Every structure is written in structure tokens, then in C-alpha cells.
Amino acid sequence: MANRWKNTLTERDITPEAAYLDRRRFIGAGIGLGLMGLAGTARSETLEPNPWEDITQYNNFYEFGTGKDDPARNAHTLTTDPWTVRIDGLVDKPGEYAFEDIMNAMTVEERIYRFRCVEAWSMVIPWNGFELADLLAMAGVQSGAKYVAFETLYRPEEMPGQRFPVLKWPYVEGLRLDEAMHPLTIMATGIYGKDIPNQNGAPLRLVVPWKYGFKSIKSVVRITLTDTQPPTAWNTALGSEYGFYSNVNPQVDHPRWSQASERVIGGGLFARKQPTLMFNGYEEEVASLYAGMDLRENY
């Protein structure tokens, strides 16, 4: 599929982490670094990615524990090679796709995105990855497909958090097809030009920057095209707190905390707060997907 951002960057073009951190200003949000422009309501701002240490040491990945440092401490047990992704359902070419074959077929780009957790903290992350739409096109989406369901690896012997009923395992997520096909939606394979670490969802995770972080399912092993809305892990566990859409919305609070502002990770004891942007700052790009919808009811 032709790249809708007209970006020709590959892994070899990724700026080293040190160079990132030396710069004072960064061009970012919903595009690759080679494009001049910013996404959403913050089109004129610049974004500075968090350091590697922030991104890789402060995580939610309950398959490895519920503490923020548990994934970094425990995820070394995960085996990611070999890795396959089953793509099935309403597709022309269902089957098991080897990770290496996927990577050989995709164009990897750099995307600097805001990341907003439903727990009201945020980061800026320089992902490397490819558009989910291109992967779905490779499998051939059939006309009856309306949703895309995702599933995380289930391997309790390597993912110790799965030995406890914190959630119903394996972790599952879902998107409407138009959300999945949107050019901002990517499958991430790296951070700062390096392979994505286990604790961040190696070797392949979803990234949907206008939604809360739990929608960006990690360590994906199955993608299913379906005509019905699929179940999602947090909506199944606590439907009154976590909706299917889970768009970042400062006007709709979580029952246990306000979503009007967010704590910016990286400031230590003096971490600053900033107002949360509608759709996490990507309103211009994605608001049309929800035209006419009640975003309080469809949270």
C-alpha cells in the first residue's frame, strides 16, 4: 500500500538517541520526522521525547506485574524469537505470518507521538514502526469487516503476571476498522531506532496515539478481522470505567481520577502537570471518525 504520509525513512535513517537528547526542539506528533508539520490542535508546538530510561523503566504491562518497574525487572523472561502473528477472520489470506516476513514487507518509519495513560500521566515517545493499514492490506481485508481484534501472547511460564487473575488472560483489544486503517495507527517495532524492549511490548505492539495507552496492546500474536465489536480486556473487567473507544477526552473523567490534566513523566518530585488535549492533541486528524457520536456515552 502506498504510504499516505509520503515518507521514505527506514531504520537506517533513525536519528540516534544521543542526537535526540542534544537537540532543544523537535518536530513531532502524528508524522515521521522527515515531514514538516504537527498533528492536532498543537500543530505549531514542538515535542521533546522522553529519555530511553523513562520510556523503558516506567510501564504498565500487567503480564509482568502491576508495579511500574515490574515489567523492566521481569520481562527478560519473554522469548520473542521466533515470533508469528496469526491474521484471520474476514481476510483474503489468513494464516501465520512470521515476524521477519512482516518486517521485510513493511516500510518502517519514525513517529514521535504523545502517549497518554488513563492514569493521567504522559510521555512523548519516538516510535519506529509501520502503518497497521499496510499489514491489513497484505492480508486482504474483506468487505464485510467492520472491526479489528487483537490478542497478546499467553505464556504464563514466561509472563509471571498471567499466573494471577488480575485480568482475564490473554489480554485482548479492538478497534473499529476505520480507526485501524487511519494513518496515525501504527504497529511499533522499535524505540529510538532500537528494537522495542520486552517491557514495552516486543517485538510488535499497537500504537493508537489519540487513545489511552491501554488500547495500544503489546506483544501481539493475533489479529482478527470481524463484523462484530470484539471484547476488550479492561472493558470486560470494568465496563463502567473503561469503554471500547477510550479516546483521550479531558471532559470525561475516569471514576477515580480527573482526565483534565496529566502528570508529565520525567520531572521527578517536581514533575509538572499540563492540560490534557482533546484526542491527545490529534483532534484535527481524527475527530471526523466520531462525527455525531456522544463521546460521553461512547467513552
Confidence (pLDDT) at 25: 37
117 in a known ligand binding site: yes
59 is in an annotated binding site: yes
Find out whether 63 is annotated in a ligand binding site.
yes
| 58 annotated as belonging to a binding site for a ligand | no
**Predicted local distance difference test score (pLDDT) of residue 34:** 34
CA distance 97 to 10: 21
Instruction: Consult the annotation and say whether 258 binds a ligand.
Output: no
Terminal Cα distance for the chain, rounded: 32
Task: Write phi, then psi, for 3 (nearest 5 degrees).
Answer: -75, 120
Task: Kindly tell me the sign of the dihedral angle through the C-alpha atoms of 203, 114, 118, 70.
Answer: positive
Instruction: Work out the number of other CB atoms within 10 angstroms of the CB of residue 63.
Output: 29
Q: What are the residues whose beta carbons fall under 8 Å from the beta carbon of 66, sequence distance 6 or more?
A: 161, 166
| Residue 18 confidence (pLDDT) | 56
Give the pLDDT score at 17.
58
- The residues near 88 (Cβ < 8 Å, ≥ 6 apart) are 94, 95, 222, 223, 224, 225
* Predicted pLDDT at 268: 66
CB 126 within 8 A of CB 76: no
For the entire predicted model, the pTM comes to 0.87
Phi then psi dihedrals of residue 195, to 5 deg: -55, 140
- Mean pLDDT, consecutive 10-residue stretches, the chain (299 aa), reads 39 46 40 34 62 97 98 98 98 98 97 98 98 98 98 98 97 98 98 98 98 98 98 97 98 96 83 93 98 96
Q: Which of 12, 9, 53, 11 is nearest to 27 (CA)?
A: 9
Residue 218 counted as an annotated binding residue: yes
Is 217 a known ligand-binding residue?
Answer: yes
d(CA 205, CA 135) in angstroms, rounded, equals: 13
Q: Which domains does the chain have, with CATH numbers?
A: 11-290 (3.90.420.10)
Which residues in 43-178 belong to E strands, given as ranges?
A: 84-89, 95-98, 109-116, 121-131, 147-152, 172-176
